[in-house]
Structure 1
Amino acid sequence: MMNRQRYNLLLADDDEDDCAFFRDALDDLLLPVSLVTVNDGVQLMEFLENNSSDNLPDILFLDLNMPRKNGVECLTEIKQIDDLKNLPVIIFSTSLDMEIVDKMYEKGAIYYIRKPGDFSKLKKVIENALTVTAENNFKQPKKEHFILQP
């Protein structure tokens, strides 16, 4: 399924329950991944800037609604920084507003996931995200494949 030993994932989400839920799903999947979480956009950008040379995450799961700096602002910034612009960003949000989805696609996110409330669906959509991301060589797919369903 995955072509590397281990994937480093970064989850930016201010909801601690969502972070715990995500971590539990990953643990349950027994995938070769490590997860770091940050709780707002300012923390996220600091983390990325401090790790930009050699220790960037392989995939960033980005919540849109965060305090201090939201996901839209973070994605915009990430894509403007040379060391970060190729970082694969998967939007991970409770809302599914098509206008925002389109905007995130245009800004260069590679996938959009609506957070499922159901644990088995969360596991499925995370596994799916990691699989298709690797299969696509971490590149943005065609627009019709942008939204990932569990």
Structure 2
Amino acid sequence: MSKEHYNLLLADDDEDDCLFFKEALDEIAVSTNLSMVHDGVQLMDYLKTNISNFPDVLFLDLNMPRKNGLECLDEIKNDEKLTNLPIIIFSTSLDSEIVNNLYIKGASYYIRKPGDFSKLKTVIEKALNVASENNFKQPERAKFILQP
């Protein structure tokens, strides 16, 4: 799926994290268009109603109100119209049991949100490059977590 331009969807309820993500995208060498939703219910509504602007990649936070990221991942992977959507988990947590569960449930990659803006830019760009080289297929478990 190596492309010149990516439609990205960020599902995250933290306004500061959304702003940093958008600013990081503006400074990387990959051409993108970003849409955002702020909870799991909005995410699922967006995915089911925006067929013409369907994302190439979903960056999914785990801790969101109304429906959390794990619930959304399950729902997406169990919907034949959505199951092939590449999902990069983007969360502050790095609990190995949770990460293993996300891998088993079919997430494409896992990124622990860095606190440093330059690391955020690096890891987002790396995620898009590595994932596109692999056609957004889930890698072996050892390469599931992306680091800046």
Aligned length: 148
Compute the displacement of 1:92 (Å). 0.2
* Paired letter, 2:38: N
For 2:102, the equivalent position in structure 1 comes to 104
In structure 1, C-alpha distance between the alignment counterparts of 2:53 and 2:17, rounded to whole Å: 24
Map 1:1-150; keep pairs closer than 5 Å: 3-52=2-51, 54-150=52-148
RMSD: 1.1
TM-score calculated relative to the size of structure 2: 0.97
* Paired letter, 1:61: F
Structure 1 residues not aligned, in runs of 5+:
none
* Paired letter, 1:124: T
In structure 1, C-alpha distance between the alignment counterparts of 2:111 and 2:2, rounded to whole Å: 22
In structure 2, C-alpha distance between the alignment counterparts of 1:128 and 1:28, rounded to whole Å: 13
What secondary structure is seen at the aligned counterpart in 1 of 2:19? helix
In structure 2, C-alpha distance between the alignment counterparts of 1:87 and 1:21, rounded to whole Å: 24
Contact 2:2 2:135 in 1 (8 A): no
TM-score calculated relative to the size of structure 1: 0.96
Compute the displacement of 1:30 (Å). 4.1
* Paired letter, 2:127: A
What secondary structure is seen at the aligned counterpart in 2 of 1:11? strand
